Amino acid sequence: MIYEVLSQMEKPSCSNRNAHFFNGDLRDYLESYEFSDEQFRPFFEELLKVQEDLQICADLPLEISSTVIANQIIRYKDAFKIPERYMVIPYIIYWKKEENERALLLSKDSYIEAKGLYYLLTEPVSEQKNRFDSCRNDIVAACLNEDNTEEILKVFAQMIEGKLSVGRIQRNCDRHSIVDVDEMKEKSVALAKGIFDDAMSRLPDLEDKADVIYTAVGRVFLIKKALYVQYMMAKDILTTRHEGEVKKQRQFAKAYVDEVPIVSYSELWRARREEAQKESAAE
C-alpha cells in the first residue's frame, strides 16, 4: 500500500521550501541537484547494495490539522500558523518486494521527532481522507545522523528480510531510544528547551527570522505530538497506572505534554540580545 501511495506523489506546487522535493529512483536522486546531504551518500549507497530497486521521497510536505483532537489537546496553537507545506519529512525510502510494501521514514533531528513525523503523516483527518492512514503498518520511523548509520542499516536489513513485522521492528527501535514514556517526557522537555534556547540565541542577529521561528515551532510541535501519542498508546500504563480508564490516561498524557516548554511567535519575533535588553531597561 505505501509503495502505491508514495509512487503517485507529485511535486507540490508551492514555495521554495519544497524546491528540493524529489520522488523517484534512489540512484537518480543521488545524482540529482536536489540531493545535498553528501555526508549521507555512503549510507544511501549501502542501502542500494542490500536492495537495488529502492525509491525515495525527499522533503515530503506535511500539514498540521487543527481539527484533530490530539492536536487540540497539545494546545500549541502557533503550530497551526506555520505556512502551508512548510514542514517536511526529510526522507522516506520505500520499496516493494513480492507482495510486501515497506517504507523507512527518516528524520535528521531526533528519534522523538521522527516519531512525531510518523504520527503526523499517518493520523486520521476528519475533514478529508488521509491517504497514509491505511499505510501505518508499512512504515518504520527512525532518526538518521552521522553517528548511527550502522544502526539504521540494521533496521533496514530487518525490514528487507521480512521475518519481523514492521510493528515489532518499530518497538525494538523504541526500546533502543526510549526506555519508557517517563524518560521520554524528560528527553522531550530537554529537547524543546534546547531548540528554543538555540533559536533565541540566533534570532537577534538575523534580518529574516521566519525560517528559524517556523522550524523551532514545528519541531517542538512534533515532540509534543510524539509524547502525547506514545503515552496514549502505552497499554501497560492504561492498566497499571490508570485502572483501565482512558479518560484518566488522556488527562495524564495532556499533563505530560504541558510540561514540554513552548515559546510564542510574539516572543520569538521580539528576541533580542540580553545585553540590549539590559541597556533598554536601564534607559
Q: What is the pLDDT of residue 283?
A: 44
Q: Which three cell numbers stand for residue 144?
A: 538518521
Q: What is the pLDDT of residue 127?
A: 54
Q: What pLDDT, in 10s, does the model give residues 238-273?
A: 888 887 888 888 898 899 999 999 998 989 999 876
Least confident range from 29-33, 58-62, 131-135, 244-248: namely 131-135
Quote the mean pLDDT of the chain: 87
Strongest mean pLDDT among 61-70, 148-157, 245-254: 148-157
Q: What are residue 207's phi and psi, to 5 degrees?
A: -80, -40
Q: What is the pLDDT of residue 108?
A: 94
Which is more confidently placed, 177 or 66? Answer: 177
Residue 13 — very low, low, confident or very high, per pLDDT cuts 50/70/90? low
Q: Which residues contact 33 (CB under 8 A, 6 or more apart)?
A: none
Distance between first and last Cα of the chain: 64
Which is more confidently placed, 277 or 5? Answer: 5
Q: What is the pLDDT of residue 18?
A: 57
The DSSP result for 1-56, as a single string, is: -HHHHHHT-------GGGTT-EEEEHHHHHTSTT---GGGHHHHHHHHHH-SS-EE
Q: What is the pLDDT of residue 244?
A: 83
Mean pLDDT of 133-143: 90
Q: What pLDDT, in 10s, does the model give residues 266-278?
A: 899 998 765 444 4
Q: What is the pLDDT of residue 90?
A: 95
- Strand pairing report for 55-62 and 139-143: unpaired
Mean pLDDT of 138-157: 94
Q: What pLDDT, in 10s, does the model give residues 79-112?
A: 888 988 788 999 999 999 877 899 999 999 999 9
H-state helical runs in the chain: 2-7, 26-30, 41-50, 69-74, 111-122, 149-161, 166-177, 181-202, 210-233, 235-240, 246-258, 265-269, 274-282
Mean pLDDT of 48-71: 88
- pTM over the 0.85 mark: yes
Residue 68 — very low, low, confident or very high, per pLDDT cuts 50/70/90? confident
